Structures are given as C-alpha cells and as structure tokens.
Amino acid sequence: MVNQIVGLDPAYAAAQPDAADVVIIGGGIMGVSTAWHLAAQGVLNIVVVERAELGSGSSAKPLGGVRANFSDPGNIVLGQRSLESFRKFSERLGADIGFQQVGYLFLCRSEAEVADLVAATEIQNAMGVNSRMVSPAEAAGINPLLDPAALVGASFSPGDGFADPSAVVAAYAAAAVDLGVTILNRTQVLDIQRTGEAIESVTTNRGTIRTSAVVCCAGAWSAKIGAMVGVDLPVTPVRRLIGLTRQRPRPYPKVPFTLDLSTTFYFHNYRNGLLVGISHEQEPGFAREFTYDWLTEFNAAAAICAPDLEHPDLEGGWAGLYENTPDHNALIGEAGELPGFFYATGFSGHGFLQGPAVGELVADLYLGRPSFMDPTHFSAARFSGTAPVLREVNII
C-alpha cells in the first residue's frame, strides 16, 4: 500500500490500491479524523478518497468555533469529547492547532430565548459542562463591544473556544499517513457497487477498489453518495458566508464567540481583526461564490447588539456550505439496510467541533466496540419515523 498523500503534484501518478478494508469518502475533518481513529485502533488498508484537496470542502473555514454549549444531550457529549481531544491535540498528534478557550456567549433578546437557554444550561451543568446564565451587564463586561440595553440575558461557557480547521485536518491526515493510511487527493468516487446486502467495491475516476466497508464523510455532497447504494442521507447544501475585517495594528479586545439567537448575527476575533457573519436566507444549492448580500442584515443586527460593528471594515470573506439535515443535527451510523455502509455527515454547521469525537465514534462502530456514547441517537433512521427527530436550540 502506498503511504503518502497523492494528488498533490506530481504524486498524482501514484497507484490507487485495488483493494482496501475501508474506503472513506471525503477528506474533510470527518474523513481524516475517522481515518486516524481507525488506523490508531489497528485497522489496516484504509483509503481516503478526496475529490479535490484535503479540507477543501466546508472544513476550509478560516477559524472554527468549538464548544459543548448545546441543548441536546447527544450534541453536548460530542462537544465535550471533542473539546477534550482539542485540548490534548498537541500531546497526542504533535501539532499546534491554535486552540484557544475564549468561551461562547449566546445572546437572548426575548424571554422565550432566555427560557430556552436556562433549560439548556441546566442540562449542560448536569452533564458537567461549565456554563452559566449571565445578566446583560455581565455579558457586556465579558464582551465590551455589546450594548447591554439590547439584551434580556445571555449564557456563557468559558471552556469553549476555537481552533484552526486547516491545521486540524493536516495533522489528522499526516498522522493517519504515518500509520499507513493512503490518501487519494483529486480522486472522485463515481459509484459504489453492492450485491444484495453487501458492499463489493468503490469506483473512482482512477479505477475500482474492492472493499466491504465504506464510510461516507462527503459533507454537503453526501446525498449523492447515499443514492449510489440506495441509502437515504437527507443532506441539503446551503451556502453560508462570513466576512473578515481588515487586520489592525492593534487587535480588537479579546471577546468570546458571540452569537445573537434572534438574528443569528455573530462575531469573534480573527487574529488582530474580527470574523463576522449572519445566517442570510439562501436557496439550497452547491454555489460557493462569495458575495456581500448578507451585509444589510448584518448591519441591522449589529446596530442593535454591537453598534461599533455596524458597517464593518471588511477586506473580504469566505463562502462555504452548511450540510443541513431536516432537524439540523448530524447523521452518524451504519445503514440498517446495508451493513458496511457507514455515514458521518449532515453536521448542519457544527461539524468542525464534532470532528474528533465523531471519528472516534465511527471507528468504534466499525470495530463493533462499545464507545463513549450510543450513536443510535444520530441514526439517519430517525427520519423514517422509527426514532424521534432531535431538537437543538443552540445553533444558528
């Protein structure tokens, strides 16, 4: 087996293996985390197939928020487990991923939002998450860019923060390759062959790989992969845009990840500047061009919550895809109708932070071992009426 990242010129000529124990489709955070966790548990002959370059899908965001501040217990567990991995990342994988615990601050501008966050905070505290409700004045003390008069309350979780997605993807990929994983860049999965209830092979533009196990980590493109084997993965791509302010000689004050639940307006530090955004209504689709169409809504929300941020001095931004499921929660599991077809997708905008935990969970699922949580919680079967659909309040 070829132990190198191929597809990066001139190594594209390296051979695609004829057979693998596991083929992972997608080289974003989920694909490389799953590959490393499987390899670290002793699985041999793993191939990661990535259509473009590693991390070039949604995982290319300049900076990713990481947190356990959720309302759904399953999301809290994934967040806690991932935070532990991010904390120990340099020790375990020898890489600096820029992990900083600046905290998350969710803003409420109605009593209904306060009630939701009080309930979520109670669940978090019962599960060991350090989070608390704070008054508008305290919120403005934590984040001096906020206008406390606009707020009814907020929740703060100081253990949350951010890390650098490209550094995390690169570190998992390098460590996976060291353990013998083959990564095929610029290689597209075109079809998957099955016979009855078994997977036989995966066909790429470079030929066929015989395998009995596939993990779909294809992010926003996952529905098409599921359709290749008749497994319904209800993932819809929706473009989301973020702006980056000009870097300043002196940084903005250090603030937590700050999100307004009413409008989805959010901002946080990005080096000496800020990263800002708002969930601007979009038609589903794969377009990823960057525009400033969202700025009017952003300015309107900023004028209320953080007036200094109205008309931010932007020097550009980034557009990526949310990989939305109908209830905006992940799909993690093994297809009941096709053993050997695993999926980890549909993270609906919070997949970076769940990457380390989900890679571990999928590896345990593949190996048939008990894991830190029961993945049934996130089974795609919940959309066929066999399980309740999940409700998560702390997402934008």
Ligand X SMILES: Cc1cc2nc3c(=O)[nH]c(=O)nc-3n(C[C@H](O)[C@H](O)[C@H](O)COP(=O)(O)OP(=O)(O)OC[C@H]3O[C@@H](n4cnc5c(N)ncnc54)[C@H](O)[C@@H]3O)c2cc1C
Q: H or E stretch including 254?
A: none
In Å, what is the CA distance from 365 to each residue of 6, 132, 180, 231, 345?
28, 34, 21, 18, 15
Instruction: Verify binding: residue 349, ligand X, rule CB under 6 A.
Output: yes
Least Cβ distance, residue 92 to ligand X (angstroms): 19
Smallest separation, CB 66 to ligand X (Å): 6
Name 332's bridge partners: 344
Tell me which stretch binds ligand X (CB under 6 A): 35-43, 104-112, 147-155, 319-327: 319-327
Please identify, using beta-carbon distances, which residue of 114 and 218 lies nearer to ligand X. 218
Nearer to ligand X, 24 or 114 (CB): 24
Report, in Å, the least distance between residue 395 CB and ligand X: 10
Pairing of strands 104-108, 153-157: antiparallel
Tell me, letter by letter, the H, E, C secondary structure of 167-222: HHHHHHHHHHHHCCCEEECCCCEEEEEEECCEEEEEEECCEEEECCCEEECCHHHH
- Report the C-alpha dihedral over residues 369, 330, 218, 295, rounded to 10 degrees: -150
59 counts as binding ligand X under rule CB under 6 A: yes
Give me the least distance between CB of 354 and ligand X, in Å please: 6
Residue 328 binds ligand X, judged by CB under 6 A: no
**Near ligand X by CB under 6 A: residue from 28, 74, 136, 256:** 28
- Residues binding ligand X: what is the number (CB under 6 A)? 38
Among 188, 236, 262, 299, binds ligand X (CB under 6 A): 188
Give the interface segment with ligand X, choosing from 44-52, 95-103, 206-214, 384-392 (CB under 6 A).
Answer: 44-52
Q: Is 352 a binder of ligand X (CB under 6 A)?
A: yes
- Give yes or no for residue 25 binding ligand X (CB under 6 A): yes
CB of 42 to ligand X, least distance (A): 23
> Does residue 240 bind ligand X (CB under 6 A)?
yes
Q: Give min distance, CB of 234 to ligand X, in A.
A: 15
Judged by CB, which is closer to ligand X: 136, or 317? 317
How far apart CA 328 and CA 310 sit, in angstroms, is: 29
368-377 contacts, C-beta under 8 A, 24 or more apart: 372/77, 372/81, 373/74, 373/77, 373/78, 373/81, 375/332, 375/333, 376/333, 377/74
Residue 168 touches ligand X, criterion: CB under 6 A: no
345 near ligand X (CB under 6 A)? yes
Report if residue 51 touches ligand X, rule: CB under 6 A: yes
CB of 115 to ligand X, least distance (A): 25
Closest CA relative to residue 225, chosen from 52, 389, 354, 344: 344
Least separation in angstroms between residue 330's CB and ligand X is: 9
The residue range among 85-93, 128-136, 334-342, 345-353 that interacts with ligand X, by the rule CB under 6 A, is 345-353
Residues 208-227 as x/- pattern, contact with ligand X by CB under 6 A: ---------xxxxx------
Pick the stretch among 1-9, 45-53, 304-312, 388-396 that binds ligand X (CB under 6 A): 45-53
Q: How far apart (Å, rounded) are the C-alpha atoms in residues 267 and 172?
A: 28
Q: How far apart are the first and last CA of the chain?
A: 43
Choosing from 20, 38, 46, 57, the residue that interacts with ligand X (CB under 6 A) is: 57
Instruction: Decide if 364 contacts 48 (C-beta within 8 A).
Output: no
DSSP 22-83: EEEE--SHHHHHHHHHHHHTT---EEEE-SSSTT-SGGG-SSEEE----SSHHHHHHHHHHH
Q: Using CA atoms, how far apart are residues 273 and 15, in angstroms rounded to an integer?
A: 44
Looking only at residues 60 through 79 of this chain, which bind ligand X when binding is defined by CB under 6 A?
61, 64-65
Largest CA-CA distance found in the chain, in angstroms, rounded:
64
Which residue among 22, 24, 39, 49 contacts ligand X (CB under 6 A)?
A: 49
Which of 349, 280, 340 shows the shortest CA–CA distance to 20?
Answer: 340
Among 26, 312, 340, 359, binds ligand X (CB under 6 A): 26
Q: How far is the CB of 149 from ligand X (least distance, A)?
A: 28
How far is 265 from 243, CA to CA, in rounded Å?
12
CA 106-29-321 angle, 5° bins: 65
Binding region for ligand X (CB under 6 A): 25-31, 49-52, 56-59, 61, 64-65, 188-189, 217-221, 240, 242, 320-323, 345, 347, 349-353
